[in-house]
Amino acid sequence: MKIEIIRSSVSDNFFYGVADTRGRAALIDPVDAQEAIERVRQCGWELVWVINTHWHPDHVLGNVEVLDAFPEAQVVGPSGDRARIDAQFEGAGRGGVEVEVRGGQTLEVGSLKLDVIDTPGHTAGHVSFLCGDHLFSGDVIFAGGAGHCRAADADVAQHYQTFAHVLSRLPGSTHYYPGHDYTVRNCEFVLSIEPEHQEAQRVLEVASAQEPGTLFESTLGQERRYNPFMRLDEQGLRQALATRYGDQLEAARAKSSEESEAIFRCVRALRDQW
């Protein structure tokens, strides 16, 4: 398997190309059509799929131009977000979802198999794609953080369930490929809650030293050591929130069915305001 990490030149997004050994390929969330087209041609790939993890414009608006360049390709998108994706391409001829997927299905990219995983919360129908120990995760998880829940169809409780019962069950060796890189800002946020957190400080130093525009590459195992959205049961985080943000934590508890959800809600609300 070949994975290409592609930085958008029109937004702060990262998107990805994945191909089998014979060059049959998919692009995942190629918002920057020109960068996407150039990379496919450079690699000599046969583009089979244009995959959208969710409906947000910064993940789908490259669809039409990519399809114009590679008309044999088809758009793959989540059933739960299909209507919102399709609505953005009314009158365009193509660009909307042509192959609908949902969790539990498998998408073939030549000899590769991408397992579709439901990962709602950031949007109602968000899906991620797992190929071996590589997770193409859209805007579910970021280094040190999680996707926001500000869109009309977003749901913090669903997002908590995705972290608590989906991401938590994947192996720590899983490499994930996010739609954005907010590592420095997220680590600074973690340290604002837990100033002595050594792993957050270490990641901050590494990410700050990287060349601008470089993706900080991480695994779920590493995230479990410092990302607060993956440490909901840690007493250190819980105590820090109770000490520094008691009122916000009580407000989150009033909306939650369990303490771990309250911690998630509290951290999400604090990050939104930070």
Distance of CA 264 to the CA centre of its chain: 17
Distance of CA 260 to the CA centre of its chain: 21
Q: pLDDT digit string (tens) for 183-219? A: 999 999 999 999 999 999 999 999 999 999 999 999 9
Residue ranges covered by each domain of the chain: 2-139, 183-273
- Give the SS3 label for residue 95: coil
- Give the SS3 label for residue 182: coil
Query: In the prediction, which pLDDT does 94 show?
Result: 96
The answer for residues whose C-beta is within 8 angstroms of residue 173's C-beta and 6 or more apart is 133, 219, 220, 221
Query: In the prediction, which pLDDT does 178 show?
Result: 98
Query: In the prediction, which pLDDT does 248 show?
Result: 97
CATH architecture label of 2-139:
4-Layer Sandwich (3.60)
Q: pLDDT digit string (tens) for 157-180? A: 999 999 999 999 999 999 999 999
Q: pLDDT digit string (tens) for 32-71? A: 999 999 999 999 999 999 999 999 999 999 999 999 999 9
Are 101 and 77 within 8 A, CB to CB?
yes
Q: pLDDT digit string (tens) for 120-137? A: 999 999 999 999 999 999
Euclidean distance between the first and final Cα of the chain, in Å?
39
Query: In the prediction, which pLDDT does 156 show?
Result: 98
CB under 8 Å, gap of 24 or more: what pairs does 92-100 form?
92/64, 93/64, 94/63, 94/64, 94/67, 95/60, 95/63, 95/64, 95/67, 96/63, 97/52, 98/74, 99/49, 99/74, 99/75, 100/76
User: Could you give the CA distance from residue 206 to residue 213 in angstroms, rounded to a whole number?
Assistant: 14
